[in-house]
Amino acid sequence: MTRLLGLGGLALGGLGLGGLALGGLALGGLGCAEVGVPAHPDGPIWANRPSGAMSVVARRALAIAGDRSGEHFERAVAAIDAPNRRLFVGTSDGGLHSLDAATLTSRWRFSTGGGVESEPLYSAADDSVYFGSNDGGVYKLRAADGKLLWRVGTNAKILCAPVLVGEALFVVDANDTLLCIEAGTGKLKWFRQRQPAAGMEISGNAGPAVHGGLIVTGFSDGVVNAYRTHDGSEAWAAPVDLNAQAAESGAADAIRYLDVDTTPVIASVDGEELVFVSSYETGTYALYLASGAEAWHNDGVKGATDLVLWSGALRDGGDKRVLVASSGLGGLSGLEPSTGRELWHRNLEAGGVTAVEPWAGALLVGTSRYGLFLVHPLDGGVIDGVGQGASFAARPSAHGLHAYALSNDGVLLGLGITPPR
């Protein structure tokens, strides 16, 4: 789920911003992200080119101004069908759009009864598109022409991307309900629901993550749980309450928001399958997938609304992975996946940023004030940026040398990148 996060005090070094007004931000050095500073030997290849890497190659206005709903944020992420040069992206006016990936010209538009904030899922197996809407519906369309194949109604908004495994489509709605739908027919196979937490909640919810016959998600009451994909039975001995540690220490009264809104990230680390997830109030965790037991906990990285695992090749030929947390309380943090140790941090206090998107060895992120930025994955330094006078709440999406970002004005930008030689 994507939310606005703070963006103050960020030192912007070596940016090709084309006249972007930076207000009171200091143009300062950011290590190897600064112009003219050579890369450190264990840095990724992006450190060779600190600016001039990104450019806007296409743009198209998508949302109909008079039909836009809610807070006038656009939170939908574009799904990319690279072999057929197509994009699928939703808008707050209730539309799902199919576009040409090169020119952004429209192929078709499908209308729903609410804004479309969820990231669509394209399936090459039968050339179809799955997505959710704020009208509570889960939809399957024919990708070629946008024809409706089926719709399943739920009791709440669908804000996160669905996951397709074989013939099973997994969806989580905003009312803490996990659903398994038969992909071919739209028949509901099973569902599991937790009672939503009482009191205030952070807007949004966690989506599903599937691995090895298990599906893991988080809930608004602070619980993370794993289920077997074939029948929805609980796979762990007990659900994991990420707020329990605070309760045991006597700090429970200080917890205002119980939410676990980060879609879990599952990865193999040092031979163990781990689940990375965050509680808004108590920090970021790694749990063992097999049991739900805690592998590590970093209580300093709080308020996280998105987690992304970046991986890339270093200049010496080795590989590196960094768990990147986007937090409304603390900005952007890079964590060591095996221990949870914080590798770097960028304090972002005013304005907002989106979740990060891995792109060509770096990280692409949108902001609510200053446009789009390419960020160094090993130290959080800024490599490049484009202004365009736009604000962003939706995570960009990328494939190869192309990326796409939907602005809060309902304008989709197509981006190109020139990697270093």
Higher pLDDT, 209 or 40: 209
At residue 138, the pLDDT reads: 98
- Condensed to tens digits (0 to 9), the pLDDT of residues 203-251 reads 568 999 999 999 999 998 889 999 999 999 999 999 999 888 655 545 5
Collapsed DSSP state (helix, strand, coil) of residue 246: helix
Place of tokens 């949302």: 63
At residue 391, the pLDDT reads: 87
- Edge-first strand order for the sheet with 382-386 is 357-359, 362-366, 372-375, 382-386
In 3D space, the residue among 161, 240, 242 whose CA is nearest the CA of residue 208 turns out to be 161
Separation of first and last alpha carbons in the chain: 35
Higher pLDDT, 53 or 190: 190
At residue 20, the pLDDT reads: 26
For residues 71-91, give the mean pLDDT.
Answer: 93
Check: pTM over 0.75? Answer yes or no. Answer: yes
At residue 139, the pLDDT reads: 98
At residue 30, the pLDDT reads: 26
Confidence of residue 366 (pLDDT cuts 50, 70, 90): confident
Confidence of residue 305 (pLDDT cuts 50, 70, 90): confident
Query: Which of 26-40, 72-86, 307-321 is modeled with the greatest confidence?
Result: 72-86
Considering only 8-17, 18-27, 157-166, 299-308, which range has the smallest mean pLDDT?
A: 18-27
At residue 39, the pLDDT reads: 36
Task: Please state, in angstroms and rounded to a whole number, the distance separating the CA atoms of residues 305 and 202.
Answer: 9
- Edge-first strand order for the sheet with 86-90 is 79-81, 86-90, 95-100, 106-111
Q: If you classify domain 31-417 with CATH, what class do you get? A: mainly beta
> Residue 230 to residues 72, 154, 191, 333: CA-CA distances in angstroms?
39, 20, 11, 36
Residue 234 is classified by DSSP as B
- Condensed to tens digits (0 to 9), the pLDDT of residues 141-184 reads 999 999 999 999 998 999 999 999 999 999 999 999 999 999 99
What the block records as the tokens of 280 is 């808004």
Percent of the chain with pLDDT over 90: 60
For residues 1-23, give the mean pLDDT.
Answer: 32
What the block records as the tokens of 125 is 């197996």
In 3D space, the residue among 126, 61, 131, 68 whose CA is nearest the CA of residue 94 turns out to be 68
Residue 401 is classified by DSSP as T
In 3D space, the residue among 278, 277, 323, 336 whose CA is nearest the CA of residue 303 turns out to be 278
Other beta carbons within 10 angstroms of residue 288's beta carbon come to: 14
At residue 95, the pLDDT reads: 95
At residue 162, the pLDDT reads: 97
Task: Please state, in angstroms and rounded to a whole number, the distance separating the CA atoms of residues 158 and 20.
Answer: 35
At residue 19, the pLDDT reads: 27
Confidence of residue 38 (pLDDT cuts 50, 70, 90): very low
> Residue 336 to residues 15, 145, 284, 291, 321: CA-CA distances in angstroms?
27, 44, 12, 22, 7
For residues 20-41, give the mean pLDDT.
Answer: 29
Task: Please state, in angstroms and rounded to a whole number, the distance separating the CA atoms of residues 192 and 188.
Answer: 12
Check pLDDT > 90 for residue 53.
Answer: no
At residue 186, the pLDDT reads: 97
Check pLDDT > 50 for residue 253.
Answer: yes
Considering only 125-129, 217-221, 399-403, which range has the smallest mean pLDDT?
A: 217-221
Residue 365's identity, in one-letter code, is: V
At residue 21, the pLDDT reads: 26
Across the chain, what does the average pLDDT equal? 83
Pairing of strands 121-123, 128-132: antiparallel
Place of tokens 């024919």: 142
| CB 398 within 8 Å of CB 360 | yes
Place of tokens 């969806």: 171
At residue 407, the pLDDT reads: 93
At residue 240, the pLDDT reads: 95
Q: 229 Cβ partners below 8 Å, 6+ apart?
A: 165, 168, 170, 180, 210, 213, 214, 215
In 3D space, the residue among 399, 390, 356 whose CA is nearest the CA of residue 375 turns out to be 356
What the block records as the tokens of 251 is 């700090």
Check pLDDT > 90 for residue 5.
Answer: no
Task: Please state, in angstroms and rounded to a whole number, the distance separating the CA atoms of residues 357 and 119.
Answer: 13
**Based on the number of CB atoms within 10 Å of its own CB, is 135 exposed (0-12), middle (13-18) or buried (19 or more)?**
middle
Task: Please state, in angstroms and rounded to a whole number, the distance separating the CA atoms of residues 36 and 232.
Answer: 55
DSSP 60-72: EE-S-GGG--TTS
At residue 11, the pLDDT reads: 33
Strand runs (DSSP E) across 49-126, as ranges?
Answer: 54-61, 79-81, 86-90, 95-100, 106-111, 121-123
For residues 353-380, give the mean pLDDT.
Answer: 89
Instruction: Name the residue ranges covered by the structural domains of the chain.
Output: 31-417
At residue 123, the pLDDT reads: 98
